[in-house]
Amino acid sequence: MSNVIQSRFWAGGSSDDASDSDSEEYESKGSGSSSEEEGAGAGGNRMFFLDSDTDSDEVRRVVRSAKDKRIEELKVVCDEMRNKMKINDWTSIQTVFDKLNRQLERTLKVTAKPTPPLAYIRVMVELEDFLEEMWGNKEAKKKMSPTNQRALNTMRQRLAKHVVYEKEMAAFRADPVSTDEEEEEEPESSSFDEDDDLEAIEEASRAPKKKDKILSMEPKDITHEMVAEKLSEILQSRGKRGTDRQEQVEMLTYLATVAKGPAQVVQVLSHLVSSLFDLNPSMASHMKVSQWKSCTSYMLQMLEILSDNPNIKLEEDAEQVPESAEEPEEGAEVKVWCSLVAFIERLDDELFKSLQVIDPHTHEYLERLKDEPFFLALAQRVSEYLTSKEDFKGLPRVALRLVEHYYYKVDSVYNAMRKLTLEQQQAAEEAAEEGGEEGGEEEEGAADTKPILKVPANFTMDEDAHNALQVLVASVFKHGDERAKARAMLCSIFHKCIHEDFYTARDWMLMSHLQDNVQLMDISTQILYNRTIAQMGLCAFRAGLIPEAHACVGELYSSGRVKELLAQGMTMSRYQEKTPEQEKLERRRQMPFHMHINLELLESVHLISAMLLEAPNLAANPLDAPRRTSSKPFISWLLNNYQSHTYLGPPENVKDHVVAATRALLTGDWRNSYKYICALPCWSLMPKQAEVLEMLKGKLQEEGLRTYLFAYASQYSSLSLDQLCTMFELNPQKVGSISSRMIINDEIHGAWDQPTSTIVMHNIEATKLQSAAVQFSDKVSMLLEMNERALRAIRTGNIHEADDDGGHAPRRRGGWDDHGRADRHRGNKARMGSGRGGGLPGVRGWGRGGYGGQRGSRFGEGGGYDRGFQAGFRQQPQQPPSQQSQQQQQPSMSSLGSLRGRQQPRRVPAV
């Protein structure tokens, strides 16, 4: 029962807002409350709850409006300020002063009046008077603590800057208002039932807002001072909590239509564009298309006014609200706050972000791309205006934005955009002739509508994209900073590559030394550098420069993160976890779809280049190919993945096609290799497709000939020139050139027989000494590898370290491998020793004493030949055969045992 009563008691206070619960007051009209308060213990409390619940119908609550509550809270802070003034605590006065101003902001939001309550004015006047009194009292200042004195100085400076309500304070000093008169001005709180209170609140929320006075006036009656005053009021409330940004945009849109004079129109339009940007404060989301078009339209209107009125100067450091509200004289110089360069950069960023978000396979993406000519026209107008004003600080920034819109466009795309611009201009002229005003008319509150833009009639695009780009790049090089110059150079190199000028692009890249400093640049510039390198590789491949193409594209594929490097997607790896913040930043860097470089085409170029370079090497050195290759990933895919498969199906992706072509090329079958290469689906995206495939056919014929000679030349006694020309469909001059080059480089052993047009092969068999030398070199290399592995195990503190493959070698009983058979097989009766610096038990070192007798290691401690072991393979005096056999059965490990607690390592097989 008590739980139910308590829940009803607490339910009475939960109906109102939690922030105003402390200021609610309750009145009880029942009698007998004094007797209940005198009761003590749980019984008394229970009786109190029972009686209050019983008389709940007769209890009426005083409903205080939000305005009364805020004013009451303000008065409480004012009283607190007076208490701190009485004790002369200036440190606390600073804190209460900040609290008082915050409370005033809350109160003004509720009262909807431009002037503060009289309680605030009264306490500010008292604070000023008290401050002046204390500042002039030198004796009292001497008695104050240093902290309090500093607080007094700080408070005096803050009050000097706090000049918001000087007029109201001066009026109060002239005619002070008593506290009683102030309370009479405040509305009295009324007593209602709870149901009446809810109905009153609902009616107040449904009531329409009070219309601004300036909106109800005729435009001809609005003066310059009224517009300036309203603009100042909007700017003061801008950025504060609770401000309706959409309402501010609508008001500024209306003020732009009633502003007096071109200077005031430009001033209102600049603040209107800035307010439209405030509607989308988040960097993660993009601005609405309608708002973007409105900003572009307003900026074009501003530039028209600025071109007609050269006396108006735009400055970023000018005051946003002019001190004098008087209309300037006609022709007088007027400074207006505005930053055209910042507006251009923000519009470009919003266009970029919208293209990132919109699905590229929809009609909406194409419609958004059609808005690019509007931005280009606006940026060109701004660039012309900055040039006329000789503003060389902002000019390269605008020029760089234009460069980044031109550099990736091929001639066909540039001509299509130029044609679209002409069509839009022609449509706007026809609409103007017909009397329609769709092209330039803007509705009130255009933030949510879609205004129809028109490209300015005086905007023209150069017929040649290269010339247009070079003019802009020259401007950046002349006036820009280091980052702008680097980006402009990369854009120029990219543009050269898509126009098939590889050698110029290569020279510019090497002369600029961008590859040396790119690691110190920002991430967006590094992405542009990676895109330029990829485009250089594609350009070199189209030109038939296979080594250069492989060098450029292989640099990107060596990391295994091509998508991230080109900002064309995100690779999810199970070995690398990214925080949500990192993923968000990476998504912001992604390039729009129409700027992508096709990754399938890039991968095809990389693998085909690697195949053409490494197929002859694979045929010449089938056993040692992985050590001599220059394309490590390609060889690993070929040797490890595909050769280990028992069954290989038909090729499906790019790797399968290239590996199938490589397997055919290794046998000299260039026709099947060419067939697999032509089956790749990415050739439709390659410019000059027929020429590129013809170039690849010639490259496959040449490399097929070299691969065939490497693989099968030793099987022939002679090779006919005519037969080689027929097999590879090459002319005799080409076959002779390739064969002669291989003979000169000692890649094949043969000679030309001119009368018969044949290559006579010289089959040279190795002598016994040469064969023994080859075997000896293999044994030494194996010994060196084992010594390095043993030294690594000793240095890491784990003698039983696993092999490089991850497994342990099998060990025989007692921890020793039985190598007696190998020793007896070789007739070796020497005692096996152990060394500290990498010497292993059971491994013979080649010492000065020759092959027989006692041997000492000549290897260095790190596995090299520079120093001998100080403790390895120690020579022991000659002993009888019985003792030697006994020592062979129980070998000593004193050296390694002393170093690692006498742990017995596993034995390595003897050489």
pLDDT in tens, 620-639: 876 655 445 555 556 556 65
pLDDT of residue 568: 92
**pLDDT reading at 795 higher than 90:** no
Pick the range with the lowest mean pLDDT from 423-432, 494-503, 575-584, 816-825: 816-825
H helical segments located in 558-644: 562-566, 580-588, 599-620, 625-628, 632-636
**Best-predicted range by mean pLDDT among 63-67, 258-262, 357-361, 643-647?**
357-361
What would the mean pLDDT of 25-54 be, rounded to a whole number? 40
Tell me the DSSP string of 778-797: HHHHHHHHHHHHHHHHHHTT
DSSP state of 640: I
- Out of 190-199, 464-473, 558-567, 860-869, which region has the weakest mean confidence (pLDDT)? 860-869
Please report the pLDDT score of residue 221 as a whole number.
82
What's the average model confidence in pLDDT over 829-833?
Answer: 38
Hey, how many other C-beta atoms are within 10 angstroms of the C-beta on 492? 24
What mean pLDDT is predicted for residues 663-668?
Answer: 88
Cβ atoms within 10 Å, residue 62: 12
Domain ranges for the chain, please list them.
Answer: 2-34+42-205, 223-430+439-444, 481-571+579-597+830-910, 599-761, 768-811
Examine the pLDDT at 19 and tell me if it is beyond 60: no
* pLDDT of res. 341: 94
Q: Give percent of the chain above pLDDT 90.
A: 33
Q: Which of 79, 82, 62, 73 is nearest to 109 (CA)?
A: 73
Helices (H), 731-845: 732-744, 768-795, 820-825
Say whether pTM exceeds 0.75: no
Lowest mean pLDDT among 537-541, 622-626, 822-826: 822-826
Better-predicted residue by pLDDT, 643 or 728: 728
Report whether pLDDT(379) > 90. Answer: yes
* Lowest-confidence pick of 415-419, 512-516, 601-605, 643-647: 643-647
Q: 252-299: per-residue pLDDT in tens?
A: 999 999 888 898 899 999 999 999 998 887 777 888 999 999 999 999
pLDDT greater than 70 at residue 522: yes
Which segment of 110-114, 330-334, 643-647, 823-827 scores lowest on mean pLDDT? 823-827
Q: Indicate the range of 195-199, 397-401, 452-456 predicted with least confidence.
A: 195-199
Contacts of 417 (CB under 8 A, 6+ apart): 372, 373, 409, 461
3-state helix, strand, coil in the chain (%, to 5): 60, 5, 35
Average pLDDT, integer, range 648-676: 89
* Whole-number pLDDT of residue 214: 77
The pLDDT value recorded for residue 911 is 30
CA pair distance 235, 519, nearest whole angstrom: 43
Whole-number pLDDT of residue 350: 94
Q: Which of 429-443, 858-872, 895-909 has the highest mean pLDDT?
A: 429-443
- Residue of higher predicted confidence among 311 and 49: 311
Average pLDDT over residues 836-848: 37
**CA–CA distances in Å: residue 866 to residues 846, 859, 874:** 14, 7, 18
Residue 856: the pLDDT is: 39
Q: What is the pLDDT of residue 32?
A: 40
* Model confidence band, residue 209 (pLDDT cutoffs 50, 70, 90): low
Average pLDDT, the chain: 76
Q: Grade residue 444 by pLDDT with cuts at 50, 70 and 90.
A: very low
With a CB cutoff of 8 Å and minimum separation 6, the contacts of 211 are none
Instruction: Reduce the DSSP state of residue 760 to 3 states and report it.
Output: strand
- Residue 845, pLDDT > 60, answer no
- Residue with the bigger pLDDT between 877 and 499: it is 499
Task: Specify burial of residue 871 (Cβ count, 10 A radius: 0-12, 13-18, 19+).
Answer: middle
**Across 61-70, 449-458, 896-905, least confident range:** 896-905
Residue 455 has pLDDT above 50, yes or no: yes
**How does residue 801 score in pLDDT terms, banded at 50, 70 and 90?**
very low
Confidence at residue 834, expressed as pLDDT on a 0 to 100 scale: 37
Maximum average pLDDT range among 35-49, 196-210, 437-451, 569-583: 569-583
Q: Which of 510, 535, 520, 530 is nearest to 483 (CA)?
A: 520
CATH class of 599-761: mainly alpha
What does the alpha-carbon distance between residue 161 and residue 173 come to, in Å, rounded to a whole number?
19
Contact (CB, 8 A) for 607 and 655: yes
Q: Say if CB 571 and CB 565 are below 8 A apart.
A: no
pLDDT of residue 44: 41
278 within 8 A of 300, measured Cβ to Cβ: no
pLDDT of the residue at 28: 40
The DSSP code for 227 is: H
Q: Which amino acid is present at 893? A: M
Is residue 185 within 8 A of residue 119, CB to CB? The reply is no
- DSSP-derived pairing of the beta strands 750-753 and 758-761: antiparallel
